[in-house]
Amino acid sequence: MSVATPTSAPTTATGTRGGNVDGQAIAITVFSTVKWWGRVVLPFVFVAPKVAPKTLTTLQRLSFIHFARWSLITQIPHNGAPQPETKLRYPHLYFESNFNGGWEEYIDAFSHILTTGMWTFWGSSYGFPKALPTGPFKAYIKANEMEASHFYSAYPEATTTEIKQAIELDPMVAELRERADRMTPEEFATAFAELMSEAQRCC
Amino acid sequence: MATAAPEAVRIDLGDVQGDILRAYGNAYERTTYVFVGIDEPGRGREWLHGLVDRVTTAAPWADAGKPAHAMNVAFTAAGLRALGVPDRVLRTFSDEFLQGMAERAGLLGDTGDAAPARWERGFGTGEAHVLVTINALGPTELDAALAELRTEVVRHGLQIVSEQPAQLLPQSREHFGFADGFAQPAVEGVTDDKAVGGGVPLPHGTWRALAPGEFILGYPDEDTRVDPKRRLPNAPAAPLGKSGTYMVWRKLHQDVALFRRTVRDAAQRLDRDELLLRAKIVGRWDDGAPLVTHPDTQPDEFDGRAEGANDFLYERADGDGHRCPLGAHIRRSNPRDALGFEGRLSFRHRIIRRGMPYGDPLPPDALADDGADRGLVFVCFNASISRQFEGIQVQWLNDGNIFGLGHDRDYLLGGTNGGSMVIQGRPPDPPCYLAPQGPFVTTRAGEYLFVPGITALAAIADGVTG
Ligand code: HEM
């Protein structure tokens, strides 16, 4: 495949390869080979109400993780020559996620906080060692990780936590602005202090 | 998840070097860090040979009490190479250790005035090979030990690259004036008595000490303690991987006058009590009392080492940071449960700190810099420099994202572009903002080192490392 190359030793400060980093954002891409029964079970796992959504709710609380996506790949799209046609003898699990921070911390969060969720998604992949202990889990992810040949972030200096905070803050400021014209300086001072007290709780 | 009950671990204290698991703390008043350079492996090993038996171990001191001085030895990657440790063995050490601190400068925030190119001579260049740390009761004992060391170094045709003296300041204060060094991780089998406040918080308000492998190689760590297969964490190849640890050594210059002026000005501008503002920056009062347990006034007497002195968590008592700000130095450097998930995002990022102030204190009321060099020789021990020390420095101190603090850096350290912080509050004390200031703390030198166990040290001296 031409879109990705296998990842070996980390080369950047964030614990991942340069191609996976754009500003504050880090990408992780993992392909794993799925056993025959995974092809049957995984589609249910993705929609089963008690399994995937629970993991996803926890994921949302980890605001340094932008998103995480698992999909089952049964064939590789062929875009014509010069791309060679590839037939997959086994289905593959394709995992893609973006996050802020460091690679180690990211995987640690998966191991320690989404322990059972990890088994649900990767349990049908060949060689998956369980999410705990983290040592073998990290080695497994490293071994199956691909470096992105192109990774682009539209707002490289911003993190999702900051963006969420800004979105929450924006209407509060707009509201004060709207009222400000009708306030005395003393009233404004009080209202401003109130806004600050309220806003410090954003996410 | 079902977890196997971990077996009680017994640490071979006689094989572990001293000052790692238990602090020499107030036992020794003077410390000098001597970096030695080796240009011929044979002579280097011969010198080490004579040293092995005199290296202080972690074995409890006999009835005779503490010796007049203690001596400990550590190596940079360049040092192991200079002593003839083969590449194939070196490759089993961690990547960040092999790269060295200077290579990691960008990541650590050592840029501008703190960049390795501006470090003191001999650091970050591959010239510093062996660090001999001498702790002594007083100046006389120190001089005697140093004289002996210097003579032996010269006799073996080796060089002293750098000597850095350091000394305990009254009341264990660092130069900014805060009591320092007592909040430490509790280690299973060694400091179980410090588990409350120092270990891992458990549901139901109890605590347990951390697995020793977080700090000593060759023992189960927090990851493997519950591994049914009882695999041990990664470590350098035998015999080097047993009883050793990694050490971070950083000479951090402190601009005390700038810190004092900044805090005084901010207190005036914001109309806040200066002593409280200082406490908000660190998360503890000058005497060490934590803001979480003493939010309003500094207690008359506080002993940071007393039982229960360190017993607090953040989330329930102070989730909003109204007592201890979300960006306070101790809340960043050991967030306990502040990141949620019962502390599971932070318990693997702990370090044992053994720093020592260097240089004479700035006179108590001085507000102008006298040009003298003073600061903290920051020393910490950990089994993984990247996960533990670098995790704290990079993700928690140099950035605020994980705490919801944007790109705020730790205000106490500042760094090249200065730190900034919000002090959370509610009317009549609404939140206030401390704008970025010049760097209070600047890195002047540093190395990553490996501290071998005693058996491993003998193997290095014998040239039989594998
Ligand atoms: C000149 C620089 C520094 C100064 C003046 C300083 C000062 C302090 C003070 C006053 C305390 C509270 C007392 C105590 O808990 O023992 C403290 C705690 C601590 N510091 Fe620093 N520090 C400095 C640099 C660093 C660095 C570079 C790191 C790590 C990368 C660090 C990590 C910690 C940790 C882990 C704690 C204990 C927090 C706890 O367990 O609650 N410090 N420091």
Domain-by-domain residue ranges, chain B? Answer: 13-181+234-246+448-462, 252-446
| Candidate from A29-38, B56-65, B132-141 with smallest mean pLDDT | B56-65
- Identity of the residue in A24, A105, A165 whose CB atom sits nearest the CB atom of B404: A165
pLDDT average, residue stretch B140-158: 97
pLDDT in tens, B297-309: 999 999 988 889 9
Residue with tokens 């879109």: A3
pLDDT in tens, B329-343: 999 999 999 998 888
Banded pLDDT at B1 (limits 50, 70, 90): very low
Q: Higher model confidence: residue A47 or residue A170?
A: A170
Residue with tokens 């189960």: B220
Banded pLDDT at A150 (limits 50, 70, 90): very high
Q: Is-contact A8 A139, C-beta < 8 A?
A: no
Distance between CA atoms of B393 and A104, rounded to whole angstroms?
A: 14
pLDDT average, residue stretch B59-87: 93
HEC per residue, A62-120: CCCEEEEEEEEECCCCCCCCCCCCCCCCCCEEEEEEEECCCHHHHHHHHHHHCHHHHHH
Ligand 1 pocket at CB < 6 A: B 174, 176, 178, 180-183, 252, 254, 282, 284, 288, 329-330, 333-334, 351, 353, 375-376, 378, 389, 392-393, 397, 412-413, 441
Mutate to test the pocket of ligand 1, among B353, B358, B362, B443 (most ligand atoms within 8 A of CB): B353
Number of domains in chain A: 2
| Candidate from A102-106, B142-146, B207-211, B236-240 with smallest mean pLDDT | A102-106
Distance between CA atoms of B463 and B465, rounded to whole angstroms?
A: 6
Distance between CA atoms of B36 and B45, rounded to whole angstroms?
A: 12
Q: Higher model confidence: residue A54 or residue A161?
A: A161
Whether B425 has a pLDDT exceeding 80, the answer reads yes
Q: How far is A131 from chain B (nearest CA, A)?
A: 11
pLDDT average, residue stretch A180-190: 95
Q: Are strands B30-37 and B130-136 parallel, antiparallel or unpaired?
A: antiparallel
Residues 6 or more apart whose CB falls under 8 angstroms from that of A114 comprise: A55, A58, A59, A131
Mutate to test the pocket of ligand 1, among B172, B180, B187 (most ligand atoms within 8 A of CB): B180
Q: What is the pLDDT of residue A9?
A: 41
B428 preceded by a cis bond (ω within 30 of 0): yes
Whether B94 has a pLDDT exceeding 70, the answer reads yes
Are A81 and A31 found together in one domain?
yes
Are A103 and A43 found together in one domain?
yes
pLDDT average, residue stretch B69-80: 97
Phi, psi of B180 (to 5 degrees): -140, 150
pLDDT average, residue stretch B279-303: 96
From its phi and psi, is residue B244 left (phi > 0), alpha (psi between -120 and 50) or beta?
beta
Distance between CA atoms of B223 and B212, rounded to whole angstroms?
A: 11
Max intra-chain CA distance, chain B: 70
Q: Give residue A200's identity as a one-letter amino acid code.
A: Q
Whether B2 has a pLDDT exceeding 70, the answer reads no
pLDDT average, residue stretch A141-149: 94
Are A97 and A188 found together in one domain?
no
Are A121 and A24 found together in one domain?
yes
- 3 state SS of A25: strand
Mutate to test the pocket of ligand 1, among B173, B339, B378 (most ligand atoms within 8 A of CB): B378
Whether B6 has a pLDDT exceeding 70, the answer reads no
Strand partners, A102: none
Are A32 and A68 found together in one domain?
yes
Q: Is-contact B426 B237, C-beta < 8 A?
A: no
Which atom of ligand 1 is least distant from the CA of B174?
5
Domain that holds residue A192: 160-202
Q: Where are the alpha helices (DSSP H) in chain A?
A: 36-47, 52-61, 103-113, 115-122, 134-144, 160-180, 185-199
Are A176 and A146 found together in one domain?
no
| Candidate from A51-55, B240-244, B250-254, B367-371 with smallest mean pLDDT | A51-55
Strand partners, B131: B35, B74
Q: Is-contact A78 A72, C-beta < 8 A?
A: no
pLDDT in tens, B363-418: 999 999 999 999 999 999 999 999 999 999 999 999 999 999 998 999 999 877 77
Q: Higher model confidence: residue B278 or residue B435?
A: B278
The encoded tokens of residue B212 equal 């020793």
Whether A47 has a pLDDT exceeding 50, the answer reads yes
pLDDT average, residue stretch B430-453: 93
Whether B213 has a pLDDT exceeding 90, the answer reads yes
Banded pLDDT at A12 (limits 50, 70, 90): low
The encoded tokens of residue A1 equal 């495949």
What percent of chain B lies above the pLDDT cut of 70? 98
Banded pLDDT at B5 (limits 50, 70, 90): low
pLDDT in tens, A86-127: 889 999 999 999 998 888 888 988 888 988 888 889 999 999
Whether A50 has a pLDDT exceeding 80, the answer reads no
pLDDT average, residue stretch B62-89: 93
Residues of A with CB under 8 A from a CB of B: 9-10, 13, 15, 24, 61, 63-64, 100-102, 104-105, 108-109, 112-113, 115-116, 132-136, 159, 161-162, 165, 190, 193-194, 196-197, 200-203
Q: Give residue B432's identity as a one-letter amino acid code.
A: C
Whether A201 has a pLDDT exceeding 80, the answer reads no
Q: What is the rounded average pLDDT for all residues in chain B?
A: 93
Distance between CA atoms of A109 and B346, rounded to whole angstroms?
A: 10
Torsion sign (Cα): A189, A190, A196, A202: negative
Torsion sign (Cα): A165, B326, B200, B395: positive
Are A59 and A133 found together in one domain?
yes
Are A198 and A118 found together in one domain?
no
Give the count of Cβ contacts less than 8 A between chain A and B: 82
Banded pLDDT at B227 (limits 50, 70, 90): confident
Q: What is the pLDDT of residue B315?
A: 93
Cβ–Cβ gap A200/B320 under 8 Å: yes
Q: What is the pLDDT of residue B239?
A: 93
- Identity of the residue in B234, B394, B395 whose CB atom sits nearest the CB atom of A135: B234
Q: What is the rounded average pLDDT for all residues in chain A?
A: 86
Q: Which long-range contacts (CB under 8 A, 24 or more apart) does B188-193 make?
A: B188/B8, B188/B9, B188/B212, B189/B8, B189/B9, B189/B10, B189/B11, B190/B11, B190/B13, B190/B21, B190/B22, B191/B21, B191/B22, B193/B307
Are A180 and A107 found together in one domain?
no
The encoded tokens of residue B445 equal 């030198």
Q: Are strands B200-201 and B432-434 parallel, antiparallel or unpaired?
A: unpaired
- Identity of the residue in A9, A133, A136 whose CB atom sits nearest the CB atom of B95: A9
Residue with tokens 């700090």: B215
ipTM of the complex: 0.85
Are A142 and A176 found together in one domain?
no
Are A30 and A51 found together in one domain?
yes
| Polymer length in residues for chain B | 466
pTM of the model: 0.94
Whether B15 has a pLDDT exceeding 70, the answer reads yes
Are A78 and A113 found together in one domain?
yes
